[in-house]
Chain A
Amino acid sequence: MAANDLIHFELVTLDGTKFGEDVYEVILPTPDGYIGVLPHHIPLVTIASPGIISIRRKPGDRDDQMEYYATNGGAIEVLGNVVRVLVDEADHEAEINEQEAQKAFERAQELREHAKDQVSLNEAQSLIDRQAVRLQVAGLRRRKRR
């Protein structure tokens, strides 16, 4: 397989560069839904929403061989066969503990119920969104192991 059949994918977070390799396909969360980016995608600049980033390293890889990251929002740039994703945080599936995520999710829900003003409500809601994504990624990982 020639190297030019791949696309370079960079995942940059506040905590440093989490991923920087050539891959076949990246599926990214945007406000309009998930988009798949394949090699030689047209130039595109868009917003990343909280969600799951899925990576297919080689063309023949099955869905259960994909790698997952849970992220919150940021920005996406596709330019010259390079995908750059700029997000605040990205957790690899291996870094997420499902029980912990579940507990954090419940705590966040509790926070939302007890929120007194709009600010704490917003904060709780963003925590819930974040933990929900982490839970989804943990679920995907469990399915993969079976």
Chain B
Amino acid sequence: MANTITLKRRINSVRNTRQITKAMELVAASKMRRAQEHALRTRDFYTLAQQILTRLRQLTDVTKHPLYRQQNVKTRLHILITSDQGLAGAYDANLLKQFSQELQQDHKDGVTSQVISIGRKGSSFVSRLEGVELLAAYHHFAEQPTANDIRPILNTIVGLFITKKVDAVDVIYTDYKTSLSQIVTSQRLLPAAYQDVPIEPDLEQALFEPSPEAVLEAITLRLIEAQLNQAFSEAQASEHSMRMMAMKNATDNANDLIDDLTLAFNTARQAAITQELAEITAGAEAIQ
């Protein structure tokens, strides 16, 4: 009898766990959808900034601008976007693996590494490392960051780059390809990049106020801002997507476990009944 009671208890406790993982799966799914929509909305902004920048390039020498300064990299700043919470499968493990490889590369090239980390998992990892400087750590960053949330990070990196304290800024995040495939990506933010396109004749007589360089700076900042924002949205979508998959697997496992336990429970109950019957018949026969 004791056996059936323990089994019953275990079944109930697995059922409770299943309820929680199921709920977490649904929450992650809805958050993932929102992050995806947010990523799409930023696209217009990015495209337009890229277009204006392309046109500007034809009128002013972009490469002379401090934000486009290419030079030997002696100090590299990584912006590491991780999650605050666990239970998201291999999300943080994948990120940190890629990040470690980047750090090893830096070490091999004799480059000093600095880090701005977003998310608790990232900062606790970086604080254990030696020879890596953690410039700033952001915990509980906004789920859908606005310009106000991104501005402090943007100002920091642009300030460091212009004063030549760092020579390159990369952002490491998980790119959301589909709900099944997310790829850890390292993207260069500074020095800023541009694409080559043909000249538009209209713009040759365009007015620039106050100057092409000032406009260039405003646009470039917006571009980097858009890239950062894009990285945040992609990272969010990936995190929630991986958490959703992890929780789905957990729910499936719980279901299997409940099936096995129920089977064992039924066998144990049947065995107990059979045993009781055997005892009764044996007792009756002994009397005769």
Residues of A at the B interface (CB closer than 8 Å) are 10, 12-17, 30-32, 42-48, 72-75, 77, 79-80, 84, 86, 88-89, 123, 126-127
Tell me which of B44, B56, B152 contacts A45 (CB under 8 A): B56
**Is B286 in contact with chain A by the CB < 8 A criterion?**
no
* Interface of B (DSSP majority class): helix
Query: Quick one: which of B42, B151, B218, B229 contacts A47, CB cutoff 8 A?
Result: B218
B225 interfacial contact with A, CB 8 Å: yes
Q: Is the CB of A42 within 8 A of B42?
A: no
Contacts between the two chains (Cβ within 8 Å), count? 95
Residues of B within 8 A of A (CB): 41-42, 44-45, 48-49, 52, 55-56, 146-148, 151-152, 200, 202-203, 205-210, 212, 214-215, 218-219, 222, 225-226, 229
Chain A neighbourhood of B146, CB < 8 A: 14-15, 88-89
Which of chain A's residues have a CB closer than 8 A to the CB of B42? 14-16
Verify B222–A75 contact, CB threshold 8 A: yes
A31: B residues at CB distance < 8 A: 209-210
- Complex Cα distance, B56 from A77, in Å, reads 10
Contact B206 A32 (CB under 8 A): no
Q: Say what secondary structure dominates the interface of chain A.
A: strand
Whether A45 lies near B215 (C-beta < 8 A) is yes
Point out the residues of chain B lying under 8 angstroms from A126, CB to CB. Answer: 151
Can you list 20 pairs linking A and B with CB atoms under 8 Å apart? A10-B48, A14-B146, A15-B41, A16-B44, A32-B210, A43-B205, A43-B206, A45-B52, A46-B209, A46-B210, A46-B215, A47-B209, A47-B214, A72-B147, A75-B215, A77-B52, A79-B55, A84-B48, A86-B219, A88-B225
